[in-house]
């Protein structure tokens, strides 16, 4: 079975300083058909203008991942962390029993584009945590195939950042004509395209679908997903509990 989420069908908000596209219900956007996928609750594709950002606000009981596509993001939180997160870095903030934070674009000229990802934790409360890492080099891939680089996991394997959920996020980087295949077995899988295009085939379906930037595909019930990149493709693959 396949869940197809097209980019142009996402929820959209434009506050001037912030343009955001919501894959799932969030804030002013609500759609009962799109409340999340397994433990994946939020994917917001945010563009924040130069010098602007999210003022200090609070979260609890949520694993919040920021994937910076272009530009840079400045993070500051109530536990004393204050860092700039450039493109190529991934940031994980485990809200735990509660944390206050702000996220700003430190540039005076360029916007920042990042994916704001929320994953429900498998335990509530606990001490808030923060981690950040630069990915995209062979060293950061820990000698594993850089075509699929593990960014986030429940146990920190392969040099990934840890979250409190039986879930993992990998980045796929395919050249035109390259293929990738993944079975879900007793799990769910969710593919979000950052850039590029591909033809995707799910084993339970008869026809391939073309997907591009902002599109997403969810698979489950022991399906296998097969991708063939039409041009250079960057995507995130979420391995999620059933």
Give the annotated binding-site residues for Fe cation.
57, 59, 101, 103
Exposed / middle / buried, residue 102 (Cβ in 10 Å: 0-12, 13-18, 19+)? middle
Q: Which two tokens stand for residue 78?
A: 């109530």
State residue 53 phi and psi, 5-degree precision. Answer: 170, -170
Distance, CA of 80 to CA of 85 (rounded, Å): 16
Which residues participate in the annotated binding site?
Answer: 57, 59, 101, 103
The distance in angstroms from the start CA to the end CA of the chain is: 13
Q: Which two tokens stand for residue 198?
A: 């591909």
Distance, CA of 126 to CA of 97 (rounded, Å): 5
């Amino acid at each position: 079975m396949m869940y197809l989420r097209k980019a142009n069908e996402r929820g959209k908000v434009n506050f001037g300083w912030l343009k955001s596209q919501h894959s799932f219900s969030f804030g002013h956007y609500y759609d009962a058909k799109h409340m999340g996928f397994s433990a994946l609750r939020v994917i917001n594709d945010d563009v924040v203008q130069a010098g602007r950002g999210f003022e200090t606000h609070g979260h609890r009981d949520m694993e919040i991942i920021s994937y910076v596509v272009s530009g840079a993001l400045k993070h500051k939180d109530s536990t004393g962390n204050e860092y700039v997160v450039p493109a190529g870095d991934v940031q994980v903030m485990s809200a735990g029993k509660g944390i206050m934070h702000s996220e700003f674009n430190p540039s005076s000229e360029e916007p920042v584009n990042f994916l704001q990802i929320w994953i429900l934790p498998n335990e509530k409360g606990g001490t808030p945590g923060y981690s950040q890492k630069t990915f995209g080099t062979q060293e950061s891939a820990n000698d594993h195939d850089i075509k699929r680089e593990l960014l986030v996991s429940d146990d920190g394997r392969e040099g990934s950042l840890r979250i409190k959920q039986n879930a993992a996020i990998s980045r796929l980087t395919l050249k035109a004509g390259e293929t990738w295949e993944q079975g879900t077995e007793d799990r769910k899988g969710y593919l979000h395209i950052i850039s590029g295009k591909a033809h995707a085939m799910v084993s339970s379906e008869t026809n391939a679908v073309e997907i591009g930037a902002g599109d997403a595909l969810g698979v489950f019930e022991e399906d296998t997903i097969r991708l063939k990149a039409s041009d250079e493709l960057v995507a995130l693959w979420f391995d999620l509990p059933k």
